[in-house]
Amino acid sequence: MRALLLPCVVFPLLFSGASSAQTDANQDWQAVVSSDGSTAQARHESGAIEVNGKLYLIGGRAMREVQVYDPVAATWTDLGPTPLEIHHFQPVAIGDLIYLIGSFTCCYPSEEIIADIHVFDTQTNTWSIAGSMPASRVRGSAGSVVYNNKIYVLGGNTQGHAGGAVAWFDEYDPATQQWTVLPDAPNARDHFAAVVIEDFLVAAAGRQTSQPNPFTNPVIKTDMYDFVANQWIAADDIPTARAGALSVAAGDEVIVAGGEINTSTIALNTVEAMNIYTGQWRTLKPMLLGRHSGGGAVLNGRFHVTAGSLNTGGAPETDTVEALVIDDTKTIDFDLDGLSNNDELRLYGTNPARTDTDGDGMIDSVEIQLGFDPLNEDTDGDGILDGDEAIEPVVNPPVGNEPNDNEPEDNEPGQTPVDMSSGEPVEQGTGMVTSSGSVSVMLIAAILVGRLSRIRLRLRQIYVEK
C-alpha cells in the first residue's frame, strides 16, 4: 500500500508549484471609456497614481490640469492646473498626499530642474511645497517609490535631454524633511519608473539620455535594491530595450508596458513581467495602443495606462485609457519547499525560487529539519550528497555490522528522526523511520521531491517561456 500512496504524496508537491500566482499571459487589455464622455487630457511626460481608490493624472509638457478618475462613477474630473509646468517625474503617495520629486520644467533639450518638492493634497485639492532636494543631488526624470513611509529617489539626469544621467539613490523622510544619501545603483538611468515589491526596489528599462539622439543608449540591465540587506543585486536583463515605459507591481512581479526606442518611429505596445524571486522575464499580451511617457497605476485590480505619446518623441499625444486585469497575489512560499520567502532570504540564506538550493537531492525545509546545511550539498564533507546520505543508511541498513564512519550514529546531533509536519522528534517505530529501519512515505516523498526539484524548476521555466 505504501508504494501506491507514494505518488499521491510526491506528485501534488511536484506540480502544484509549476506556476505561481501571476498575471495571465493570455489576458487581453481592455479599453476604458467614461460614462459621461469625459476623458483624460492628452499629454505626455506626465504621471499617474492611485489614491483612495481613485486615479490621479498629473503634469506633462505645457500647463496641464490635475485630473481624477472615479472608477465607480466612471468619470474624469478636472481639479485645476499644476502650480507650474512640471514633467518628467514619478508621483508617489503617502496617505492623502501626492509628492512630485525629481522633475523638469520648460523646454527641450536643456530642461530646467525643479528642486522644490511639490505636494498635492487630494482632500483639499491644494498644492504646497515640502522642502527641496539637496543642491548637490538635484535632477529630473528620476524614479521615485515609497517604502516604510519614506520616499526613495533613484537615477535621473542633471541636464534634461542634453545628458547627465546619474545612478544616485537618496532617501527622503517627509516627516522630518531630511535627506540621506544611499549607495549608487549599479547603472545610471533616466526615463523609467521604479517599483517596490515586498522589500525590494526594482529599476528596469530607461536610458542614459544624451544628444544628438536622445532615444539611444537604452539600459537593459535590471537593478534590484534589497532594503533589508541594504545592497544592490542584479536580475535578468529586460528583453525589450525601451525608455518612457510605465511600470507597476503585480503580486511577485513588476510589469513594464510600452515605451520608446530609437529603432522604432512609433511607440511600443510591448508588455513584459519579471518575478522578483526568479529574476526572470516573461511576455504578456501587448497593449491595444503603443504609447510612452503617459501615466500608469493599479486601480481595482487592473493596471491602467493613460495618456502618453503615440510616436517616438512628443507627438501625437493621446487621451485614451486601457487596462489589464492583473493578479496581485503575493506568495508566502514561492517554491513550495515548506519555508517562507522571508525565512529563506533573511534566516537561512536559501533561494526562495529553488526547492533544493544546493542541489543535493533534498528539499531545503527537510535539510533544516534533519540537521543538514541547505547551502552545502555535502554537509559533513564525506563525499556523499546529503540527499543520498539521508536515505541510503536507513533504506539499506547494515546487517550485523557496526555503522561505518560515513553513517551517523543514532545519538549524533541533528540526526534524530523528525516529524515533518511539527518539527518535533519522533519515537522509534513512528513518524519518518520505523523500528525496522525503513523510511516512511513522508521522508521518501520529501527526498524524491528534492531530487526532482531540478525538473520542477525546468517546468516552471518552460511555463514562463510560453
For residue range 152-171, list pLDDT tens digits in order: 999 999 999 999 999 999 99
CA nearest neighbour of 39 among 383, 258, 319 = 319
Note the pLDDT of residue 402: 45
Tell how strand 30-31 and strand 200-203 pair up. Answer: unpaired
Residue 431 pLDDT more than 90?
no
Same-domain check for residues 8 and 147: no
Q: What does pTM read for this prediction? A: 0.83
Same-domain check for residues 379 and 293: no
Q: What is the mean pLDDT of residues 326-330?
A: 96
| Residue at a domain's end among 299, 325, 351 | 325
Higher local confidence (pLDDT), 128 or 405: 128
Same-domain check for residues 238 and 366: no
Q: What is the mean pLDDT of residues 28-43?
A: 98
Same-domain check for residues 424 and 308: no
Note the pLDDT of residue 398: 39
Q: Per-residue pLDDT tens for 173-184?
A: 999 999 999 999
| Residue at a domain's end among 325, 343, 367 | 325
Q: What is the mean pLDDT of residues 366-371?
A: 92
Same-domain check for residues 105 and 235: yes
- Please check whether residue 140 lies inside any domain of the structure: yes
CB within 8 A of 239, min separation 6: which ones?
272, 281, 283
Residue 461 pLDDT more than 60?
no
Same-domain check for residues 370 and 226: no
Q: How confident is the model at residue 21 (pLDDT cuts 50, 70, 90)?
A: confident
- Please check whether residue 358 lies inside any domain of the structure: yes
Note the pLDDT of residue 318: 98
Residue 413 pLDDT more than 90?
no
- Please check whether residue 22 lies inside any domain of the structure: no
Same-domain check for residues 312 and 360: no
Q: How confident is the model at residue 124 (pLDDT cuts 50, 70, 90)?
A: very high
Distance CA 132, CA 117 (A): 5
Same-domain check for residues 313 and 344: no
- Exposed, middle or buried: residue 248 (CB in 10 Å: 0-12, 13-18, 19+)? buried
Split into its structural domains, the chain has a count of: 2
Same-domain check for residues 284 and 343: no
| Residue at a domain's end among 280, 299, 325 | 325
- Please check whether residue 104 lies inside any domain of the structure: yes
Note the pLDDT of residue 421: 36
- Please check whether residue 114 lies inside any domain of the structure: yes
- Please check whether residue 180 lies inside any domain of the structure: yes
- Please check whether residue 23 lies inside any domain of the structure: no
Same-domain check for residues 291 and 418: no
Distance CA 465, CA 112 (A): 43
Q: What is the mean pLDDT of residues 258-267?
A: 97
Same-domain check for residues 214 and 304: yes
Q: 75 is in which domain, residue-wise?
A: 30-325
Average pLDDT, the chain: 86
Same-domain check for residues 321 and 337: no
- Please check whether residue 21 lies inside any domain of the structure: no
CATH code of the domain in which 283 resides = 2.120.10.80
